[in-house]
C-alpha cells in the first residue's frame, strides 16, 4: 500500500475492504464485494465500524414484512442493509436490519427511529416505515437512493472544485437541519453520504445517532469510524458530542476531496490495534498539512473553510453547519472563483511521493507551516512597545487560529461583530478583554481590531491612569465630537452621545480603555466615582465601552461592571487573550527570522519561544 492509500481501518483497527450501506446502488446482480475499489488518487474505500455481532440471516428469507428482498447491499457495525421491493406501493426501498438486540434495546431503537422519521429535509434519506416480524424484532425502511456513495460519485463524475463546494454545502445544510432537531449523526464519512444520479447528496445511516451506546469495542468509549472522528470523539468524550462534531467529520471528508488523502493517517508498520490508537492520538494532538501543500490547485478559500472545520478546539470551528454551508456557497457564487470550475478534483503527482502515513510530515503538532502566503512578511520590530495601526498590514499574520472568509481570525471577528452591530442581541454596553501581563491585549486591539472597524464606528482609544483618566477621556470625546462643546461633566458628554447629539446618523462611538488595572488599583475601595457613573450611559447602540485589563484584576473588574449593571458573560461581552502555545510561538519567530533573513525555525532556541509567547496574543 502506498503513502497515498491510507489503510482502511474498521472499529477494531483491522484493515478491511469496506462495506455497503443504504447509500450504495450496485448494478443488478452485483454483490457488495464487487464495488470497484477507489484508485490511489482520491478517497479511500468506506471504513464502517464493524461489530462482531451479526444481524439475523436473510439467505433463506424472501420477505421482511411486506417487503420482498432482492439482495443485500452491505453490512456494517449496526447490522445489514438490503434492497427490497415494497409489494404494496410498488417501489424499491432499503431495509436496515440491526444486529440482535435485547427487548429493551428494541424499544429504544423504535423510539429513536420515530424521532428520525420527523426529519423532513430533502437532504436526509427519509424513513418510510419501521416494523417487526418473527425473524426480525425490528427493521427500518428508508428511501432507496439510486446512485452511489460519495466516493463512487467522485470516481464517476470527476467534479471540479465549484461542484464540490456546492455539494458539501448541501450536505452541511442537511446536517444543520438535523442538529436543530437535537440529532447528531456522529459518523459522517463518504460511505454515509449518498449521491443520486442527478448529483444530489443525501445524509444516510444515522446508526450512531440512533443509539450512542454502541461503538468501537476495541476502543472503549469511542464511537464512530476512526479516520473521520473529531478530537472529542477520539478522546471518548461522548458528553461533548454535538453539531460541531459532525462539522469536524465533514471537514475530514472535504479535506479528502481537496487533497486526495486523509488528514490523519496512522503508520502501516503498526499492528491494527496500535494503528487505531495512533490514529486517534493524531486526531487529538496534531494539525493536518494544509491541502494546498499537497495539491496547489486547491483554492485558498476552500482550504480556509476546510481547516476551519478541522479546528481542534470546538470554539475555533464553525458554530453551526449552516455557517459552513454559507461560506461554501459564497465561494461557489463568487465570480473571482469561477476559474475553479475548470479544475477537476484529483491528487497531484507530487503528493504520491510524500512520506509514509503516520510520519511527522503528514501531521504533527510541532512542524512549522507558513503563517501567510506573503513571503517575507514586512514585520516592523517594536521591542517592548505594542503594535498599533501602522502595523495592521502584517499583524493578522501573527495571530493563530482559523480565518473567516475575510481573512479575520476569531479573536478579531468576535469583537468586530459586536462593536459594529446595532442589534441589542449582538452588541453590548460594556465588554472586557482580559489576559496575563504582556500577552498582547493592546496589540490585538490597536493593530488588529481598531483599524478594521467599519466606517460607522468611531473608536476613542485611551490608556487609563491612576489619577486623570476621567479628564483625559472627556478631552478625547470632545476632540472626536467637537459639536459637544465645552461640557465639563463626563457623564453629560456620554449622555449626549447616547442620545445622538453630535453624532451623524448611523454612527456610533466605541470607548476603548486600555491598561484599566491602573485605574482599578488606584480607586480600590472608593465609592461615588465619576467614571462608573458616566459609563452607565453606554447603551450598546450609539455608545459602547471595551475595557482591557490584566487577568489578575478579574475580581476588581467584575465589581466595576456590577456598578454598571452589566453582567460579564464569556463569549458574549467577555473574552480572553492568552499566550501563544509553543508551536505557534515558533511559527511567529520563524516569520520574524525570515523577514530579517537571519533565521530558520530549526535554529530557534527554547528561551526565544518562551519570549515569543509573551509578545503577541492568542485571543479566545
Residues involved in catalysis: 187
> Nearest Cα to 195, choosing from 140, 253, 264?
253
How far is Cα 545 from Cα 512, in angstroms, rounded to an integer?
6
Q: Calculate ∠ Cα 158-161-167, nearest 5°.
A: 80
Backbone angles phi, psi at 570, to 5 degrees: -60, 130
DSSP string, 162-178: HHHHHHHHHHHHHHHHH
Burial 566-585 (b: 16+ CB within 10 A, else e): bebeeeebbbbbbbbeebbb
How far is Cα 499 from Cα 543, in angstroms, rounded to an integer?
9
Cα-trace Rg, the chain: 28
> Nearest Cα to 303, choosing from 402, 396, 400?
402
- Put the strands of the sheet holding 91-98 in their side by side order: 63-64, 67-76, 79-86, 91-98, 139-143, 127-131
Length of the chain: 620
Contact, 287 vs 363, CB < 8 A?
yes
Contact, 393 vs 595, CB < 8 A?
no
Residue 497, all three cell numbers: 452621545
| CB-based burial label for 448 (10 Å; 0-12, 13-18, 19+) | buried
Q: Which residues contact 89 (CB under 8 A, 6 or more apart)?
A: none
Amino acid at each position: 500500500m502506498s503513502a497515498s492509500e491510507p489503510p482502511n481501518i474498521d472499529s477494531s483497527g483491522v484493515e478491511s475492504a469496506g462495506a455497503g450501506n443504504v447509500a450504495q446502488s450496485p448494478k443488478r446482480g452485483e454483490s457488495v464485494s464487487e464495488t470497484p475499489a477507489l484508485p490511489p488518487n482520491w478517497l479511500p474505500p468506506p471504513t464502517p465500524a464493524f461489530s462482531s455481532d451479526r444481524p439475523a440471516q436473510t439467505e433463506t428469507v424472501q420477505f421482511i414484512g411486506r417487503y420482498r428482498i432482492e439482495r443485500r447491499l452491505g453490512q456494517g457495525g449496526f447490522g445489514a442493509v438490503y434492497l427490497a421491493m415494497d409489494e404494496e406501493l410498488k417501489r424499491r426501498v432499503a431495509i436496515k436490519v440491526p444486529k440482535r438486540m435485547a427487548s429493551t434495546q428494541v424499544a429504544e431503537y423504535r423510539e429513536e427511529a420515530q424521532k428520525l422519521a420527523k426529519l423532513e429535509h430533502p437532504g436526509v434519506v427519509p424513513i418510510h416505515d419501521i416494523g417487526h416480524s418473527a425473524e426480525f424484532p425490528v427493521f427500518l425502511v428508508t428511501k432507496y437512493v439510486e446512485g452511489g456513495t460519495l466516493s463512487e460519485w467522485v470516481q464517476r463524475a470527476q467534479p471540479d472544485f465549484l461542484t464540490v463546494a456546492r455539494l458539501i454545502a448541501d450536505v452541511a445544510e442537511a446536517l444543520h437541519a438535523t442538529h436543530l432537531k437535537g440529532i447528531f449523526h456522529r459518523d459522517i464519512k463518504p460511505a454515509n453520504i449518498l449521491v443520486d444520479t442527478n448529483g444530489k447528496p443525501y445524509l444516510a445511516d444515522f446508526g450512531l445517532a440512533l443509539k450512542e451506546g454502541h461503538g468501537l469495542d476495541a476502543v472503549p468509549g469511542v464511537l464512530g469510524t476512526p479516520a473521520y472522528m473529531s478530537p472529542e470523539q477520539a478522546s471518548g468524550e461522548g458528553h461533548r458530542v454535538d453539531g460541531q462534531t459532525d462539522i469536524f467529520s465533514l471537514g475530514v471528508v472535504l479535506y479528502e476531496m481537496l487533497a486526495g488523502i486523509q488528514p490523519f493517517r496512522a503508520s502501516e508498520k503498526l499492528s491494527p490495534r496500535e494503528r487505531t490508537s495512533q490514529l486517534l492520538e493524531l486526531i487529538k494532538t496534531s494539525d493536518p498539512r494544509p491541502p494546498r501543500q499537497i495539491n496547489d490547485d486547491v483554492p485558498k478559500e476552500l482550504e480556509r473553510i476546510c481547516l476551519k472545520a478541522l479546528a481542534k478546539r470546538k470554539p475555533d470551528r464553525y458554530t453551526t453547519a449552516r455557517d459552513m454551508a454559507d461560506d461554501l456557497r459564497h465561494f461557489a457564487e463568487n465570480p473571482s472563483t469561477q476559474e475553479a470550475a475548470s479544475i477537476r478534483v484529483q491528487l497531484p503527482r507530487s503528493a504520491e511521493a510524500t512520506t509514509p502515513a503516520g510520519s511527522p510530515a503528514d501531521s504533527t503538532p510541532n512542524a512549522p507551516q507558513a503563517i501567510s502566503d506573503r513571503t517575507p512578511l514586512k514585520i516592523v520590530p517594536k521591542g517592548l512597545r505594542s503594535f498599533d495601526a501602522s502595523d495592521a498590514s502584517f499583524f493578522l499574520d501573527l495571530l493563530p487560529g482559523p480565518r473567516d472568509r475575510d481573512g479575520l481570525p476569531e479573536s478579531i471577528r468576535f469583537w468586530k461583530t459586536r462593536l459594529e452591530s446595532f442589534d441589542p442581541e449582538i452588541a453590548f454596553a460594556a465588554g472586557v478583554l482580559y489576559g496575563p501581563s504582556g500577552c498582547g491585549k493592546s496589540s490585538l486591539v490597536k493593530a488588529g481590531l481598531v483599524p478594521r472597524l467599519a466606517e460607522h464606528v468611531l473608536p476613542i482609544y485611551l490608556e487609563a491612569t491612576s489619577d486623570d483618566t476621567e479628564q483625559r477621556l472627556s478631552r478625547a470625546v470632545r476632540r472626536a465630537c467637537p459639536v459637544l462643546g465645552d461640557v465639563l461633566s463626563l457623564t453629560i458628554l456620554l449622555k449626549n452621545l447616547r442620545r445622538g447629539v453630535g453624532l451623524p446618523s448611523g454612527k456610533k462611538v466605541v470607548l476603548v480603555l486600555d491598561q484599566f488595572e491602573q485605574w482599578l488599583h488606584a480607586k480600590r475601595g472608593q465609592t461615588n466615582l465619576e467614571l462608573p457613573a458616566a459609563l452607565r450611559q453606554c447603551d450598546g447602540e450609539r455608545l459602547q465601552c471595551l475595557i482591557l485589563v490584566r487577568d489578575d484584576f478579574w475580581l476588581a473588574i467584575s465589581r466595576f461592571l456590577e456598578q454598571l449593571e452589566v453582567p460579564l458573560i464569556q463569549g458574549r461581552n467577555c473574552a480572553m487573550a492568552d499566550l501563544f502555545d509553543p508551536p505557534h510561538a515558533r511559527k511567529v519567530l520563524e516569520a520574524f527570522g525570515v523577514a530579517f533573513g537571519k533565521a530558520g525555525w530549526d535554529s530557534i532556541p527554547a528561551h526565544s519561544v518562551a519570549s515569543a509567547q509573551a509578545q503577541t496574543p492568542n485571543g479566545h
